[in-house]
Amino acid sequence: MTISIGINPITWSNDDLQLVGSNVSLDACLSDVAEVGFAGVELGHKFPRDATVLKPLLARYGIALVSGWYSGRLLVRDSKSEVAAMQAHAALLAAMDCDVLIFAEVTGCIHSDISTRLSQRPRIGSIGWRQFGQRLSEVGKAAAGLGLKLCYHHHMGTVVQTRDDIDTLMQETTDDVHLLLDTGHAWFAGADPVKLAEQYGDRIGHLHCKDIRDRQMRHCINRDSSFLDAMLDGVFTVPGDGCIDYPGVFAALQKVAYAGWAVVEAEQDPSVAPPLKFARLGYENTMRFSSS
């Protein structure tokens, strides 16, 4: 495998609950990223969206831009409108020499609403999976034309959350749509990331490595917590600090010679979980798992 290890800035500043980590500067985040040795970082809400500003900023720390989340709305607009809406984001990624565009359908999503329980997450609805898949495939083809691999991010609190959702998404889309395997979101939704890696290895285009603290997860499932309450309760942590079988995930990816990024993630409160400490732990464990 040819794997580069990156990190998501949610370890320092949360994108869905921006009060969490609001006191942590972008420079502090990037300094930690460089100190640990990560090759790259994904976009966060504190990042400039102008390549002429962002490129020299990251170059100062010797790190690359990995990719960035794009919020799709294909349940309420057609693919042509979606492609037009994502142009600025895609142009930024292309200018930053990225090859991955992270896409998640956010129509009706509840993961950024602390007052809404996870059981109230949206479903595909009247548009149906087939039409959604067709629209997404057309957007994926357009992204490929821009030199970007569209990688779909299954996510708690959205229309693509469970194993059944992921299976249907894969069945209803063409090879222009790749899977972003998020180990933590898979496990939280009741799906085994090892089995997902085994089944969809040749379509996995991006990897998010977050771990799960099992006791906290079960507590939040029993309470039917909101996604943000689960995050604040410490459900998520970095690889190797929870219950997910990372050797199994990387063994499955090795069979298909996965080449791309492994991005460490941990939606934690930095006032409780020191970012530099957990970033270093996540890096060391991911390096160990991916090279064994």
Residue 126 has a pLDDT of: 83
Residue 292 has a pLDDT of: 80
Q: Where are the alpha helices (DSSP H) in the chain?
A: 26-36, 51-61, 79-85, 87-95, 128-145, 163-172, 183-188, 193-200, 214-223, 227-232, 246-255, 275-291
DSSP 74: T
DSSP 135: H
**CATH C-level class of 2-291:** alpha beta
- What whole-number distance in Å separates Cα of residue 141 and Cα of residue 138? 5
How confident is the model over 95-140, as pLDDT tens digits?
999 999 999 999 999 999 999 999 999 999 888 999 999 999 999 9
Residue 244 has a pLDDT of: 98
Domain regions of the chain by residue span: 2-291
User: Could you give phi then psi for residue 90, rounded to 5 degrees?
Assistant: -65, -40
Residue 206 has a pLDDT of: 98
| Distance in angstroms between the alpha carbons of the first and the last residue of the chain | 11
Under-50 pLDDT residues of the chain: none
- Vertex 106 angle, CA 102 and 107, to 5°: 145
How confident is the model over 55-100, as pLDDT tens digits?
999 999 999 999 999 999 999 999 999 999 999 999 999 999 999 9
Residue 125 has a pLDDT of: 83
User: pTM above the 0.85 mark?
Assistant: yes
Instruction: Evaluate whether 198 touches 229 at the Cβ level (below 8 Å).
Output: no
Residue 87 has a pLDDT of: 98
Q: Give exposure, 41-80, as e/b (b: 16+ Cβ within 10 Å).
A: bbbbebbeeebeebbebbeebebbbbbbbbebebbeeebe
